[in-house]
């Protein structure tokens, strides 16, 4: 019988017991940051609070939020809550949208992080008989190290491939019979496309599951990857600031991700007002780390937009679930006053049978926003529709207009003209930002 949970005592704990555990840990965590991080101490003092005011998890709303701007201001050591000599590792964000965020880990922090990733691997059906092929990037990015550690804990044979060199990925995958693939969904789609081009059918590989995350992806993209690779594709979520992948993971029900809420307390807030919203309402996800020693974050605003649900899950886990994030609030495009998430466009494209190779370009010409969508055709589609490209472009533009409420210009482009991603895909080029 396959092992269903990595830490059953926690993963199936009653909601009441979980709340008790969260309260105990939260009270301790607040004291820890107050005593060790002058920045937190000031934030609390400014609100007239001391750790004595925090007696259970319900007191969390008394505390202020923390934002990425705070993390950047405090770079590199300002939020460190333990002596540097207790730390054994850093990981970091790519810093593409500003100053890097550097997160610190003690050995215990790493153990907990790896346990969280191990829960995700077991939930995807992983056991010590699996060959876990990790092609998230290794290095400062948390994807590779996190899943690598989780895979060791489960006892899988771990292939620390890192990203890129797709030829080599495929050779190892075939020769060593990889059974679980860990990478971004866009890279999984690219690996699937390359396998198909090499003449492999889905049943030719030994893969049974994929653990894909680090970027938004739609249900349609999941179905596409599942079909191309002949696997079950599971979602995994996390961010560098709170440790990395494994904050939340999907189970066999594939209907949202269980949050490891013994380590990360989740709230959903209205991004405009900061008001905490009830379960089931869509808003910005806020996390509080309950067990982090070196780099604990209290009420950290992720900017990811999603919904929380306590609906009973058929897998038996009682951990609260988060829906697939639609993307970050700062990934949301405002085009001619309309809110647009790239994932909405992806849904239309895949539903109409196109590949997930697309790129969105936004510009402002004569004071009007323009939306251009480049969609790549497969060689067969390209051959068959050469004479009727315009008709297909119009049809697609109409479907996207129905979804978004604004008209795009669609360009069906030749095979292999859109750059493939080995990590997080770049879906949007916003020229408006470039002129600013
Ligand atoms: O992407 C950590 C990670 C690695 C997660 C591997 C899953 C797998 P960052 O680079 O700090 O960390 O980016 C974090 O990526 O705030 C979300 O906006 C986005 N993100 C992460 N996972 C998902 C997901 C890693 N499953 C940011 N779906 C987060 C949608 C995701 N967006």
CATH number at residue 12: 3.40.50.12780
Same domain, 357 and 291: no
* Domain encompassing residue 388: 333-435
Residue 365: enclosing H or E segment and its boundaries?
A: strand 358-365
Quick one: pLDDT at residue 292? 98
Same domain, 184 and 51: yes
Same domain, 345 and 210: no
Same domain, 279 and 309: yes
Same domain, 98 and 245: yes
Query: Does residue 435 surpass a pLDDT of 80?
Result: no
Q: List residues near ligand 1 (CB under 6 A).
A: 93, 136, 142-143, 213-216, 235-240, 244-245, 302, 304, 324-325, 328
Domain boundary (259, 291, 326) is at 326
Same domain, 25 and 84: yes
List the one residue out of 19, 30, 42 whose CA is nearest residue 288. 30
Supply the mean pLDDT for the chain: 95
Domain boundary (300, 326, 352) is at 326
3-class state of residue 59 by DSSP: helix
Query: Does residue 281 surpass a pLDDT of 70?
Result: yes
Quick one: pLDDT at residue 429? 93
Find the CATH number of the domain harbouring 341.
3.30.300.30
| 11 CB burial (10 A radius; 0-12, 13-18, 19+) | buried
Query: Does residue 1 surpass a pLDDT of 50?
Result: no
CB 3 within 8 A of CB 122: yes
Number of domains in the chain: 2
Quick one: pLDDT at residue 332? 85
Domain boundary (278, 308, 326) is at 326
Query: Does residue 91 surpass a pLDDT of 70?
Result: yes
Same domain, 308 and 245: yes
In this prediction, residue 326 has a pLDDT band, given cuts at 50, 70 and 90, of confident
Q: Indicate which atom in ligand 1 lies nearest the CA of residue 235.
A: 26
Same domain, 143 and 15: yes
The rounded Å distance from CA 210 to ligand 1 centre is 16
Query: Does residue 72 surpass a pLDDT of 70?
Result: yes
Quick one: pLDDT at residue 202? 97
**What does the pLDDT look like over 13-40, one tens digit per residue?**
999 999 999 999 999 999 999 999 999 9
Say what percent of the chain tops pLDDT 70.
Answer: 97
The rounded Å distance from CA 109 to ligand 1 centre is 19
Q: How many whole angstroms from its chain centre is CA 155?
A: 24
Query: Does residue 97 surpass a pLDDT of 80?
Result: no
Q: What is the pTM of this model?
A: 0.95
Mean pLDDT on 232-247: 97
CB 131 within 8 A of CB 178: yes
> Atom 20 of ligand 1 has which residue's CA nearest to it?
214
Quick one: pLDDT at residue 322? 98
Same domain, 132 and 186: yes
Same domain, 216 and 126: yes
Same domain, 299 and 241: yes
Pocket test for ligand 1, best of 91, 136, 214, 236 (most atoms within 8 A of CB): 214
Mean pLDDT on 395-406: 95
Quick one: pLDDT at residue 434? 59
Same domain, 311 and 220: yes
Tokens of 90: 């850093």
Quick one: pLDDT at residue 349? 96
In this prediction, residue 331 has a pLDDT band, given cuts at 50, 70 and 90, of confident
């Amino acid at each position: 019988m396959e092992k269903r949970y990595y830490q059953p005592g926690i993963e199936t704990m009653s909601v009441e017991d979980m709340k008790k555990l969260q309260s105990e840990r939260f009270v301790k965590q607040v004291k820890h940051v107050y005593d060790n991080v002058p920045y937190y101490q000031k934030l609390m003092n400014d609100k007239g609070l001391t750790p004595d005011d925090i007696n259970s998890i319900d007191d969390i709303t008394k505390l202020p939020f923390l934002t990425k701007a705070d993390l950047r201001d405090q770079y590199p050591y300002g939020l460190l809550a333990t002596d540097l000599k207790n730390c054994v590792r850093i990981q970091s964000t790519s810093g593409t949208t500003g100053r890097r965020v550097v997160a610190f880990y003690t050995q215990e922090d790493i153990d907990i992080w790896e346990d969280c990733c191990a829960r995700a691997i077991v939930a995807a059906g992983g056991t010590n008989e699996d060959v876990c092929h990790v092609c998230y990037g290794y290095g400062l990015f948390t994807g590779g190290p996190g899943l690598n550690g989780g895979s060791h804990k489960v006892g899988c044979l771990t292939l620390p491939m890192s990203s890129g060199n797709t030829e080599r990925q495929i050779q190892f995958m075939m020769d060593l019979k990889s059974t679980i693939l860990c990478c971004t969904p866009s890279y999984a789609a690219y690996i699937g496309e390359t396998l198909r081009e090499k003449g492999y059918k889905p049943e030719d590989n030994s893969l049974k599951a994929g653990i894909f995350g680090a970027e938004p992806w739609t249900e349609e993209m999941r179905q596409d990857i599942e079909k191309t690779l002949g696997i079950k594709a599971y979602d995994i979520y996390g961010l560098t600031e709170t440790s990395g992948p494994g904050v939340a993971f999907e189970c066999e029900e594939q209907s949202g991700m269980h949050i490891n809420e013994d380590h990360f307390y989740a709230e959903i807030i209205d991004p405009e007002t900061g008001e905490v919203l009830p379960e089931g309402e869509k808003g910005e996800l806020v996390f509080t780390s309950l067990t982090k020693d070196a780099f604990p974050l209290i009420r950290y605003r992720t900017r990811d937009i999603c919904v929380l649900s306590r609906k009973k899950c058929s897998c038996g886990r009682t951990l609260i679930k988060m829906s697939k994030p639609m993307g970050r609030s700062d990934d949301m495009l405002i085009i001619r006053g309309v809110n647009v998430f790239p994932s909405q466009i992806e849904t239309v494209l895949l539903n109409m049978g196109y590949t997930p190779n697309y790129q969105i370009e936004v510009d402002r010409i004569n004071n009007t926003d323009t939306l251009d969508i480049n969609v790549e055709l497969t060689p067969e589609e390209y051959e068959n529709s050469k004479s009727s490209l315009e008709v297909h472009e119009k049809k697609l533009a109409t479907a996207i207009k129905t979804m978004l409420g604004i008209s795009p210009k669609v360009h069906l482009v030749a095979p292999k003209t859109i750059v493939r991603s080995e990590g997080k895909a770049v879906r949007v080029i916003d020229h408006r930002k470039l002129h600013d």
